[in-house]
Amino acid sequence: MILLENVTKTYSGDKTPALDDVSLHIEPNEFVFLVGKSGAGKSTLIKMITKEEKPDAGKIVIGGIDLEYVKKRYIPNYRRRLGVVFQDFKLLPRRTVYENVAFALEIAGMSGKDIRKTVPKVLELVDLLDQAKKFPAQLSGGQKQRVSIARSVARQPKILIADEPTANLDKLTTEEIIELLKKINDFGTTILVTTHNENIVNSLQKRVITLKDGKVVDDQKRGGIYKLDDVKTPKTQTGRTIRTPGYAMKKKKVMIQ
C-alpha cells in the first residue's frame, strides 16, 4: 500500500538530508503512527507520499502507483486518491459544514445527485449531521477537525494521512478524534498518523515507526509505544542496499486519469 525503498531527500542549502536512505512498507488496512522529534523527517516523508516533494534517490510506490511515473499534470488527480487531514483544518470559512464536504466531492467530479447522497452519510459518520448548516467559525476545534476528516474520507480513499490531527485539541477531544480514525480504519482504510502525543500512541499500541535524523531507527510492528530518546541512529553502511522483505520492486508506468 505504502512502500518507500532507499529514499533520500536533501533540501537545497542543507548539509544533512531530511530523509536518509529510508525504507519502509505499510500494508493495506494498517494503522501506523509516525513519531519523531521536530526535524526528524516526518513532514518530509508525508510530502514524499503526497508528491509535494520528490526524492533525490529511491523509489516510492503508493497503492500500486510508482510515483516516478506520475507526470506533473496528473499530480492533482493522484492526490485525490489520498485523504489528508491537517492540524489547522484548512476549511473554507464562507462555506457551511455541508458545503465544505460537498466541495471536495465537486472537485473530484462527483455528480450533484451522488453528492446529495454521500454528504449526509459522511457527516453522520463523524457525528456532525446536526451541524451541517453551521459555518466553521461556529464550531469547536474538535468539530472543525471532524469536518476535515469528513471531507478527506468522503471520496472513500484507500489511504488516510493525518498530520498532527490532535495538536491543538484538548484531551477529551483528542480521544474522540482518535476513536474516529480507528472507526475509519475498521472500514478498511489504511491510516498513517504523525503525532507528538505520547498518550494516544501508548494507549492504542498500534504499529509505531520512529524517525531520527532522517532515518528509520525503530519499527514496532505490534504493540508499539512512544519512545524517542532510547533509540540510536543507525550508521550508514556505504554500498549496502536495504530491501523491504517480501516485496520485489518493479518499475511500473501508471497513467492517472
pTM, two decimal places: 0.86
Neighbours of 108 (CB within 10 A): 13
Domains for the chain: give ranges and CATH numbers.
Answer: 2-62+70-220 (3.40.50.300)
pLDDT at 235: 56
Give one word for 193, left, alpha or beta, with left for phi > 0 and alpha for psi -120 to 50.
Answer: beta
pLDDT tens for the chain, residues 1 to 257? 899 999 999 999 999 999 999 999 999 999 999 999 999 999 999 999 999 999 999 999 999 999 999 999 999 989 988 999 988 888 999 999 999 999 999 988 899 999 999 999 999 999 999 999 999 999 999 999 999 999 999 999 999 999 999 988 999 999 999 999 999 999 999 999 999 999 999 999 999 999 999 999 999 999 999 998 766 656 544 444 444 444 444 444 455 55
C-alpha to C-alpha distances, 17 to 11, 209, 219, 230, nearest whole angstrom: 7, 18, 20, 22
